[in-house]
Structure 1
């Protein structure tokens, strides 16, 4: 189908309907309320209108309003984001940000880097949205602050925080495909301390996710006509305390255990664990100095089975630590520090090297001079596998009128090869170099009481992309090896807006993307796989006394599933509806219906997406 142009028009109209007003920045703030600041874009606390990067923030209020069934459903269609999902809830989900590769996005949970060091991806589908307080999405190259993987941007997920002295919550739900869910938690503050405890469980019978490949000349070996279910049990525990005027500390634990059924592979079941343990110690001096020590450990654990019989293990454990100093100097802010990361792989597959470490030094300067704002950063990474890599970025903002801010930026970034690409027996290539990029961006935005808007144009050029190279076939590697042989050139335009009109709360965005293979060869000029060149999303919500109503429209254009652009996936548009009723001030009954018109579409070739589905939920929010 053709991309539904009317959806782009609706999104653009909603953006244009918000007027412009001043958004003058007044310098870095020492704020701690995550509802008011963004920390991912600069590793320091800034109000959202102060940030010079392109940022999207989803707070708990918006999550409560949308009530998405999963974290990928919450992120779907946001500016710059394309998702590829292998068949519904709990299935493998890849996130492409601004047309870069799925492993070019750094994912943090409460400040700790998560994901698999073997495959390079983060299991977003296993992080329950019920335990999420806030998501910050920073688009653009940020290796100069975070190192490897922040080539396309950074997604940081914050788990639930206290919203009062004592705030319990409870949720139960039931829906189509025998979906059922339960969540509960409590958070609060007492004196100089705070705490948060939450748990969630969800399970579904799922759908028959894998269609199979009808073009095969022989019978499909991994086609199993059954429902592919999923269940997830998760918990989070965290707390903090302020020791006098200068010291405060926090500790966090998050764990999610999932069981997933799937088809299309030599295995059809997996038990997965995502875990994060983190601690932070902060010292704030009487003068303009803050020191922050962070330490954490994440785990991505996976056991695979075939019809209940154990098959393989791929476990990644990652340790991270950082020391950062923020020093106010002459009206500006200097941030400098050191990062350390160690990765370890434990698998039934033998890796010639199963651990590596990375050390880094970084520095950043933020300054405001009249109507101008500057942010410049430089970082040097020293990796035990490939040696050193230096990245840098510069961002500039100008409030040239009371209602307008112009921004411009340039940045370099890199992505380190994964353990599979480097060391997988019979396939890995230990001579791989990191993938590198150069990006430029120009933006314009404005805010006022009724709404705001932003438009961003960008270009990213990526060198030394890692791809399969048949020329490297030899006796040891009969199937070839990965090699640094590809290039890509990505251009894009994003239009984002929000407004309150006639009682309606509107959120809208539209993106135009041109992600091209720039390598010499058969795929030169082809569109990079699984990236939709046009996407749009519109949310509309309204309160009517005790009732609330809302709708979300998601639209995406044609995309391909292969480098040769032979496996085409048609464009689509879906509509989600929601209605709620306040039984009492603290009790909410909600009914959500997704894909109301039962559209048949794919985001990964041969894998179905759920048709029309519904979820009825009852929520209690105290405090």
Structure 2
């Protein structure tokens, strides 16, 4: 395999950063507490999983404009966009399919049960407090879809003195947005409410070819605008040190213009709604009980609109998902945690398509052990999911780590995962195959991480084999479990802080190989660059803060036959911020400063050079 040798060569530029200075820098928080990797709180340097965390401070410092924008450039993450702002985005985690990523909002599973995707571009980033990304299989804790990993989004929590906030932004492509909120709390309570509105004229999303059909399949050279209205609320109260209750809400209402036809429509009205409630009880010091319930709604309506003609309704797809959870954490032995839990989920679909079956339920039972034995760390988990549509699925994960005295930790992990077929796969009229089995995977990973006086570094080498992938079978004219893939990858990341400087860099190398029988065997899986590199550099000057991000992606292909090549590209983003007062800041961001012309999906355009100006107020 070429990856280890290439990785070593390309990772060398990161190493001199560790030798910048021998003096002691100011204290920097490099290890935030996260919960997604094990469903229990732990520091990022303690978990045996590969993780990335995006905090609210980073969202504002780097002036991200969407969730896909924030995720692009993280180790192991590639983003494919079908046009400009608001257009569908696909997230590929460690080279797996876009449907192989489980997405949670405040612990509630979101997404479409018909298409099997999550419209991350519609989740308002102004309402987000943090994003946790766990790379690698996690079906042993969460069930279906967590083959490539898990992305969990947390809304703003609030707490402390009463604090209003307001931001106003404007920029290229006739973009304008406003966001505001109010946060506060007392000794035991906390709350945060917020809202945002954004609209943009956008760009021409697609330069499709009607004959032969390619891209969006139409030639509709117009601006494809986008509008997003978001609302969030989060509140909670701690009745005592042993009991607390919390509530969360996130809602977005979206209108997106795209290049389409009278059959598919060229305008969509979509809604995303997520509700959650969670209660935590600690009857005794060694037992923590977590009860949770949630509901998510994904509604998509398609229309066809022409100038001076009322829009014509095309179709409706709706997913309603209810979830219940019970989790028990036991700490009978110091330094060791035992977890037992059960999840219950019901999916219901409706709309203009009459599915052969419109609901599905699943019950999952899981257990986990986390322990530290001297210099050894162990994480083991096992889960069984019961689906009435097909046989039950058992998945597991085992990880071991050893911490050397020098602060270097070596870890090794093995995990299995699966993805249940979607309603479209199983029951779409005239197309679905009710005899489909889940897609299954096995993964192995070797990781090394270390701490330095001015930062940290991490290396990961992994392989994932996926079998029974669902693909269209030309002999039966229906989906079937006939495809397979093998993905090998290497990730290197480093983070350093010295005085007023901060530097982070990461490198991802992938071999996402199609292992299916037939003429495409050995080809690259679509829309996954083989190389990705990103470096961020920021500097503070009294009231000024400046920064730059360089992102480089290698070539990829848009089709299984590897005929439609997507060339590599480089993106340079520049940013600056000036603190007018402790409560008022003005920010500017120059995106794609070199005006690179590139595509992440064949014939779908990407924005050129763009500038955005933001004024923020938050005491």
Q: Distance in 2 between matches of 1:600 and 1:613?
A: 13
> What is the CA deviation profile of residues 446-479 of structure 1, one whole-angstrom value per residue up to 9, with x for unaligned ones?
123311100000000000000010110xxxxxxx
Give the corresponding residue for 1:573.
570
- Find the counterpart in structure 2 of residue 133 from structure 1: 129
2:54 to 43, 58, 62: 58
Query: Secondary structure of 1:531's partner?
Result: coil
Q: TM-score, normalised by structure 2?
A: 0.94
Query: Aligned ranges for residues 69-80 of structure 1 at < 5 Å?
Result: 69-80=65-76
Q: From 362, 369, 378, give the equivalent of 2:382.
A: 378
Q: Secondary structure, in 3 states, of the residue corresponding to 1:103? A: helix
Residue number among 346, 353, 362 corresponding to 1:349 in the alignment: 353
What are the residue-to-residue correspondences of 1:164-313 with 2, within 5 Å? 164-213=160-209, 216=212, 222-264=218-260, 266-307=264-305, 308-313=311-316
Matched, 1:329 2:342: no
Query: How far apart in 2 are the matches of 1:214 and 1:529?
Result: 21
Partner of 1:452: 456
- Counterpart CA distance in 2 for 1:34 and 1:203 is 35
State how far apart, in whole Å, the 2-side matches of 1:508 and 1:48 are. Answer: 17
Counterpart in the other structure of 1:3: none
Task: Output the CA distance in 1 between the equivalents of 2:163 and 2:399.
Answer: 40
> Deviation of residue 61 (structure 1)?
1.1
1:101 aligns with 2:97: yes
Q: Which structure has more RCO (C-alpha within 8 Å, separation ≥ 6)? A: 1
The aligned residue for residue 556 of structure 2 is: 559
Q: 1:584-621 CA distances to partner (integer Å, 9 max, x unpaired)?
A: 11111011010001111000111000000010000011
CA RMSD of aligned residues (A): 2.0
Alignment of 1:124 onto 2:120: yes
* Other-structure match for 1:17: 17
Find the counterpart in structure 1 of residue 415 from structure 2.
Answer: 411
2:210–2:218 Cα contact (<8 Å) kept: no
Residues 1:220 and 1:102: Cα distance change in structure 2 (over 3 Å): closer
- CA positional deviation for 1:244: 2.4
- Structure 2 residue runs of 5 or longer lacking an equivalent are 1-5, 21-28, 306-310
Give the Cα separation in 1 of the matches to 2:228 and 2:530. Answer: 33
The CA distance in 2 between the partners of 1:396 and 1:251, in whole Å, is 36
Output aligned runs, 1:447-486, within 5 Å: 447-472=451-476, 480-486=477-483
Cα pair 1:547 1:581 within 8 Å, conserved: yes
Note if contact 1:362-1:378 (Cα within 8 Å) is conserved in structure 2: yes
Structure 1: state its 5+ residue gaps: 1-5, 21-32, 473-479
Q: Give the structure-1-normalised TM-score.
A: 0.93
- How far apart are 1:15 and its partner, in Å? 5.6
Q: Deviations over 1:306-329 (max 9, x none)?
A: 112111000001011110000013
Cα separation, 2, equivalents of 1:213 and 1:372: 58
Shift of residue 347, structure 1, vs aligned partner: 1.3
| Post-superposition offset of 1:503 | 2.9
The answer to whether structure 1 residue 46 and structure 2 residue 42 are counterparts is yes
Aligned: 1:82 with 2:82: no
- Most deviating of 205-214 and 79-88: 205-214
Measured in 2, the distance between the counterparts of 1:597 and 1:178 equals 20
* Number of equivalences: 598
2:493 corresponding residue in structure 1: 496
Q: Distance in 2 between matches of 1:606 and 1:77?
A: 22
Secondary structure class of the residue paired with 1:378: strand
**Cα deviation 1:385-425 (Å, max 9, x = unaligned):** 11300000001111023220001100000000000011000
